[in-house]
Each structure stands twice: as C-alpha cells, then as structure tokens.
Amino acid sequence: MRALVQRVSEASVTVDGTVAGAIGPGLLVLVCAMRGDTEARSTWLARKLVNLRIFRDDERRMNRSLLDTGGSALVVSQFTLAAETKGNRPGFSTAAAPDEGRRLYEHFSEALRAHGVTTANGIFAADMKVALVNDGPVTIWLEG
C-alpha cells in the first residue's frame, strides 16, 4: 500500500457539496492499495502511521506520534498514487482492482480505529474535494 501523509491543523473532504469527513489536528492520509497488497500490509501501514513521530514536542522537535498527540486521521482513497509516469499520460495498472482497493482501504481505516485513532473517511471512488491546512508543512510518503 502507498500513502501520502500530511500533518494538518484541519482537513475535510466534500462529495457533491456535502462534507463526508472532517478532522481537526492530525493527519490527512491519501491511501492507495496496490495490486498484490494484503490485509497484513494494510495493518502494517496503519501501525507505522500511528507511530510515526512527526508531531512537535515541547522543544519543537518532530518527536511525537499521532497516538502521543491524540490527533485524528482523515483517510481518503487515492488510486492516482499508483501512477506510472513513463510517458505523458499516467497509467494506473499497478493499482488494486476497485473491489480489492475498497476492501483494503476500509481495512486500513479500521486498523487505525483499532489503535484508538479517531478516523474520518472520504467516499471510495467518489469525485471528492479535499481541503486542508498543512501544518509545517509536513508531507511524508509511506509505502509498505
């Protein structure tokens, strides 16, 4: 699975003019299931994410995790993270098939919740509008 993670002071996702999910301080996670990914990979990525020390401590160092801060996660499906860009038109053949992608996306969100993280979601395969205030800015690429 691949994830692009942004530390945010707030983020939301809107579908057809309605807010589908919103958080305050925490992480916006754009996530893509790749062909061949498993629930074990999804679980590993969730564990990595909640323990990733990218929040500031009292000395303003990135030394605290999502679990340490009690922050939330907004998880948005993003199959374009699988883009193959050899030419000028990206291809997405390495992304998981839609049914499998949805299953692993939902599993990932549940794995975050199992760690005690308040988790909001976008709507899988919908045309979404994502709004965020990137804190830092901090943006991290994870693959696992």
Tokens linked to 5: 């993670």
Q: What is the domain extent for residue 65?
A: 22-126
Strands 128-143 and 62-64 come out as unpaired
Domain annotation covers residue 92 = yes
Catalytic, out of 14, 79, 108, 119: 79
Tens of pLDDT along 50-109? Answer: 999 999 999 999 999 999 999 999 999 999 999 999 999 999 999 999 999 999 999 999
Catalytic, out of 80, 85, 94, 124: 80
Place of tokens 């990733």: 52
Please confirm, yes or no, whether 6 is among the known catalytic residues: no
pTM: 0.96
Distance CA 21, CA 30 (A): 13
Catalytic, out of 6, 14, 78, 119: 78
**What total of structural domains would you count in the chain?**
1
Please confirm, yes or no, whether 78 is among the known catalytic residues: yes
Which CATH number belongs to the domain containing residue 76 in this structure? Answer: 3.50.80.10
Domain annotation covers residue 12 = no
Report the alpha-carbon angle 20-111-123, nearest 5: 20
Domain annotation covers residue 65 = yes
pLDDT for 2: 97
Tokens linked to 41: 């990979």
Contacts of 110 (CB under 8 A, 6+ apart): none
% of the chain at pLDDT higher than 70: 100
